[in-house]
Structure 1
Amino acid sequence: MKARTLKRDKVNIITLGCSKNMVDSEVLSGQLKANEVDVVHESGKRDHNIVIVNTCGFIDKAKEESINTILDQVNLKKKGKLDKVYVTGCLSERYKQNLEEEIPEVDAYFGTMELPQILKKFDIDYKAELVGERLLSTPSHYAYLKISEGCNRTCSFCAIPLMRGNHVSKPIEQLVAEAEGLVKRGVKEVMLIAQELTYYGLDLYKKRELPKLLHALADVKGLEWIRLHYAYPSKFPMEILDVIRERDNICKYIDMPLQHASNNMLKSMRRQITREEMTQLVHDIRERVPGICLRTTLITGYPGETEADVEELKGFLQETRFDRVGIFTYSHEENTSAYDLVNDVPAEEKERRAQDIMEVQQEISLEKNQEKVGKTFKVLIDKRESGRYLGRTEFDSVEVDNEVVINTTKRLAIGEFVNVKITKAYDYDLEGEVVEEGIIEKIKSLF
């Protein structure tokens, strides 16, 4: 009688939702690998026997995608193609009991802060000494750096505090060590992420310390771009701008979600700021850091939103002329204060309003892009696709912003910086050609 050979476990992690979830998956992967568990991220090979789905529970569309992904993996398990299916992340944190009742075939559900419990399923312990160690799921030249967890804000529409808890900052020393480790692995750009960047340090240091953190990260040798995501506009710490202006490796870029511009909407959303204050803030930011790129995110279809509110938002965009804009349609989320309001804007109308607003921004984006034609920018090469290279300027974050299309016969390395002269402008993208570095610049670079 032959002895049965035990198959070694291999784990596939599927990540849904935002970049903060991606970092969580990378940390989980690092812990598994350090404990000699084979792990891959979103593998299509089907050579794994265990799946961990890291879910998103932010809005309706994200929740639907997460549930469908769980069901897909459960069906594979039923067919004998998987041994185990585990679920973690925001959806699991928020709806664990409901999910256990509705999809009992999942082997275990975990919340957002239950990494040690996940590891227990593999008979391994959390290794505290691995803080900052991750298996990057991004290309090796850029990475996300999560500087804090949770949020203390009380925005009426947002369920993030329900899923992520209160704001907890990571110590500056830990973040610097993480950044140094990333640079050693080839990372040239880090994108600072949090639910709320500008709140950084209030819990640890009793004051806002994002400027101090930025200076410390800017001192990390080999870190060429540092990018700021998710800055809250109310009580915005203006000293951040001085650091951006002073340090060459901090991108002139801020992602600052405003959500709306009508004072009626801002008040109901509990945003703690008025349209007039936001307009002044945008003016002050641009005055302090000339040439800075401002990105914002908006919500349309919030309860009680009128056509007048939408027109006011359009007027605000035309007045402030943001460089980048993203938009969500309102999602009616349980246990938020807005859930007590009547969700009175039909889904089709939410989409129509979102489209109208983006048409306004599309014109602004094209005009701003046309201003770049003939100018030369430092561009980071992200990938090669269909025989051409795609890269970004310091004014563009990965996946959400403009790309620079480069047609060249010259071989460019992914993760390399090149100078590109812009030759064409489109609504959301640019096209350009590589400009050879002059002899004077080459000599200067040697010293």
Structure 2
Amino acid sequence: IAEGCDRPCSFCAIPLMRGKHKSTPIEELVTEAEKLAANGVKELILIAQDLTYYGLDIYKKRNLAELLENLVKVDGIDWIRLHYAFPTGFPMDVLDIMKREPKICNYLDIPLQHISDSILKSMRRGTTKEKTTKLLKEFRAKVPEMTIRTTLIVGYPGETQEDFETLRDWVKDMRFERLGCFTYSHEENTHAYNLEDDVPEDVKMQRANEIMEIQSQISWELNQQKIGQEFKVVIDRKEGNYFVGRTEFDSPDVDNEVRIDATSTYLKTGEFATIKVIEAEDFDLYGEVVL
């Protein structure tokens, strides 16, 4: 959707790309979606450095909602998933269509990176802890079913123990449904490369592990609430004695998975099934087919 990126992408492991944002016209994206649907594709994942920027260069306005309005009309597409929407300038009309249109997954990847105001300023994120917290609360108020995924960085140059504790306590309070945490890597040709990489590697790892331990507990608690519930699940693959799928609240490779006993039922890869959750771990659900 938009070219130009200044960071490695944890979702698709693409190499670094740089340059100005460049939006692809709605008609071209709809045509591409129609071709994919004709070939049996059922899930679209919209990925950009910043989805919220979409349309500003060619339509002179943030036009993600109109793009979604057109994509939901494509026959054969069941799910449309949003990745990488930055908190600054988020178009709230996107939430209206997410709530209204069943094809738009109740899912949003919003890479926040940190929450300490001093670190956010150094990262040039253009926001604050107060603004970000307010925005996330608005998301959940407007679309209570939404799963929010974020990624965080620990060990950024100048990150003090106080900065880290601010981030840690905030993660506890916000209870993200999906979260990844990475240690800072000192990369050339980035703004941060001009700063001193002053957080020791062992401290970076300890901080990342602490965040992920907190998230593991949060994820386990949220997953326990799903036991007994039924979900629409897409089947991605067969692995050993299990068919492995995902709900609308999970992107491939990075989020929770649903495992169904393959010795007692048959499911077709790429198709959808209604699954009742019978058991839950911190990052996996186990279910059975609802006949």
TM-score, length basis structure 2 = 0.95
1:220–1:266 distance in 2 versus 1, CA, 3 Å: same
CA distance in 1, matches of 2:110, 2:50: 10
Q: 1:331 aligns with which of 176, 181, 185?
A: 185
Aligned to 1:434: 289
Q: Give yes or no for contact 2:50–2:86 (8 Å, CA) kept in 1.
A: yes
Q: Give yes or no for contact 2:231–2:274 (8 Å, CA) kept in 1.
A: yes
The answer for unaligned runs of 5 or more in structure 1 is 1-146, 154-159, 437-447
Deviations 1:255-295 (A, max 9, x none): 00000011111111111111111111111001111210000
CA distance in 2, matches of 1:237, 1:281: 11
CA distance in 1, matches of 2:265, 2:216: 32
Deviations 1:216-259 (A, max 9, x none): 00110110000000110112111110010111111000000000
The alignment status of 1:225 with 2:79, answered yes or no, reads yes
Aligned to 1:216: 70
1:151–1:256 distance in 2 versus 1, CA, 3 Å: same
Q: Give yes or no for contact 2:5–2:17 (8 Å, CA) kept in 1.
A: no
Percent identity over the alignment is 57
Structure holding more helix per residue = 1
How many residues are matched?
Answer: 284
The alignment status of 1:294 with 2:148, answered yes or no, reads yes
The alignment status of 1:318 with 2:168, answered yes or no, reads no
Matches within 5 A, 1:113-262: 147-151=1-5, 163-262=17-116
Q: Give yes or no for contact 1:226–1:251 (8 Å, CA) kept in 2.
A: yes
Q: Which has the larger radius of gyration?
A: 1
Report the more deviating stretch, 335-344 or 295-304: 335-344
Q: 1:390 aligns with which of 244, 250, 254?
A: 244
SS of residue paired to 1:366 = helix
Aligned to 2:11: none
Deviations 1:328-356 (A, max 9, x none): 21111222221121100112211111001
The answer for unaligned runs of 5 or more in structure 2 is 8-13
CA distance in 2, matches of 1:227, 1:177: 18
Q: Which runs of 4+ in 1 moved over 6 A?
A: none
SS of residue paired to 2:17 = helix
Aligned to 2:127: 273
Q: Give yes or no for contact 1:383–1:389 (8 Å, CA) kept in 2.
A: yes
SS of residue paired to 2:37 = helix
Q: Give yes or no for contact 1:231–1:256 (8 Å, CA) kept in 2.
A: yes
The one-letter code of the counterpart of 2:65 is P
SS of residue paired to 2:187 = coil
Q: 1:362 aligns with which of 190, 211, 216?
A: 216
Aligned to 1:419: 274
CA distance in 2, matches of 1:432, 1:195: 35
Matches within 5 A, 1:18-57: none
Q: Give yes or no for contact 2:6–2:190 (8 Å, CA) kept in 1.
A: no
The one-letter code of the counterpart of 1:338 is A
Q: Give yes or no for contact 1:294–1:323 (8 Å, CA) kept in 2.
A: yes
Residue 407 (structure 1) shift: 1.1
Aligned to 1:67: none
CA distance in 1, matches of 2:185, 2:279: 38
Residue 164 (structure 1) shift: 2.5
CA distance in 1, matches of 2:260, 2:140: 29
Q: 1:402 aligns with which of 256, 270, 274?
A: 256
Matches within 5 A, 1:92-103: none
Residue 152 (structure 1) shift: 9.1
Aligned to 1:37: none
Residue 163 (structure 1) shift: 3.3
SS of residue paired to 2:36 = helix
CA distance in 1, matches of 2:175, 2:110: 14
Deviations 1:195-236 (A, max 9, x none): 111100000101100000001001101100000001101121
The one-letter code of the counterpart of 1:242 is D
SS of residue paired to 1:315 = helix
Residue 424 (structure 1) shift: 0.7
CA distance in 1, matches of 2:16, 2:234: 37
CA distance in 1, matches of 2:244, 2:17: 36
Q: Give yes or no for contact 1:188–1:222 (8 Å, CA) kept in 2.
A: yes
Deviations 1:30-55 (A, max 9, x none): xxxxxxxxxxxxxxxxxxxxxxxxxx
Aligned to 1:119: none
CA distance in 1, matches of 2:110, 2:219: 17
Q: Give yes or no for contact 1:295–1:325 (8 Å, CA) kept in 2.
A: yes
CA distance in 2, matches of 1:384, 1:163: 34
CA RMSD of aligned residues (A): 1.6
TM-score, length basis structure 1 = 0.62
Aligned to 2:158: 304
Q: Give yes or no for contact 2:2–2:24 (8 Å, CA) kept in 1.
A: yes
Q: Give yes or no for contact 1:152–1:161 (8 Å, CA) kept in 2.
A: no
Report the more deviating stretch, 177-186 or 348-357: 348-357
Q: Give yes or no for contact 1:152–1:166 (8 Å, CA) kept in 2.
A: no
CA distance in 2, matches of 1:421, 1:272: 42
Q: Give yes or no for contact 1:151–1:161 (8 Å, CA) kept in 2.
A: no
SS of residue paired to 2:85 = coil
Q: Give yes or no for contact 1:152–1:167 (8 Å, CA) kept in 2.
A: no
Q: Give yes or no for contact 1:269–1:338 (8 Å, CA) kept in 2.
A: yes
